[in-house]
Amino acid sequence: DGVEIQNFYIPAGGDIPDRALNPKFDHKLDFYERLTADMSTRDKQRPLVLAGDFNIAPGENDVWNHRYMSKVVSHTPIEVETLKRLQDAGDFTDVLRAQIPEPTKLASWWSYRAADFRKSNRGLRLDHLWTSPGLTPAVKAGSARIHDDVRAWEQPSDHAPVTMDLDL
C-alpha cells in the first residue's frame, strides 16, 4: 500500500544518435525497452510516480530549438517515440505538461558551458514527473514546477529540481 516512487537516471546515450555506431545510444534505448516491458505488466491503478532524469526532451517546446535538437541525442525522433511507448505502457500522465501545457517552453537542464543559463536560454526538459492513473487524481492543481532558480546558486547541478504536491 501507499505510493511507490521510482526515481531514475536513464543513460544519456553518448553523442551519436545511431544504435549501430554508438553502444551508449543502444544501451539507452535498450534500457527504455526493458523499462517499458516492465511498466506494461503493472496494475495501472496502483499509485506510482516515475521521476528523474529521463535524458529525453519529448516535445517541441521542451527544447530550445526543435529543428536543431531533432538531430541531437536527447530529442531525436527515435528517442521521442521510445519515451512515448513507455508513457503509453503505463498510461502515465506527464504532470509538468498536464499543468503547464504547450506551447509554454519548459527546461530543467542547461549546459555548464553557458556563463548565464537564462541569457543563453538553451535549456532542455530532461527531468520528468509522471503519475499512474491510480495516482494522477491526487496531484494538486498548479503544484508542478521546475525550480530553475536553483541553477543560479553557487556551484549548482546542471539540472533543476522538478516537484509536485500530492493530496493523499
15 within domain boundaries: yes
pTM given for the model = 0.95
Kindly report the number of other CB atoms within 10 A of residue 150's CB atom.
Answer: 12
**Structural domain total, the chain:** 1
Name the residue range of residue 157's domain.
Answer: 4-163
- The label of the residue with cell 516537484 reads 163
pLDDT digits (tens, 9 = 90+) for 16-71: 999 999 999 999 999 999 999 999 999 999 999 999 999 999 999 999 999 999 99
Beta bridge partners of 131: 49, 93
Note if 9 is an active site residue: yes
pLDDT digits (tens, 9 = 90+) for 117-128: 887 889 999 999
Question: What CATH number is given to the structural domain containing 134?
Answer: 3.60.10.10
104 within domain boundaries: yes
Note if 91 is an active site residue: no
168 within domain boundaries: no
Alpha-carbon separation of residue 9 from 15, 31, 128, 152 (angstroms): 17, 11, 11, 23
Instruction: Check 53, 62, 94, 127 and give the catalytic one.
Output: 53
Q: What value does the mean pLDDT of the chain take?
A: 96
Kindly report the number of other CB atoms within 10 A of residue 75's CB atom.
Answer: 25
- Residue 140 carries which DSSP code? P
Task: Check residues 59 and 155 and name the one with the higher pLDDT.
Answer: 59
Compute φ and ψ for 23, nearest 5 degrees: -60, -30
Please, are residues 43 and 120 in contact by the beta-carbon 8 Å criterion? no
61 within domain boundaries: yes
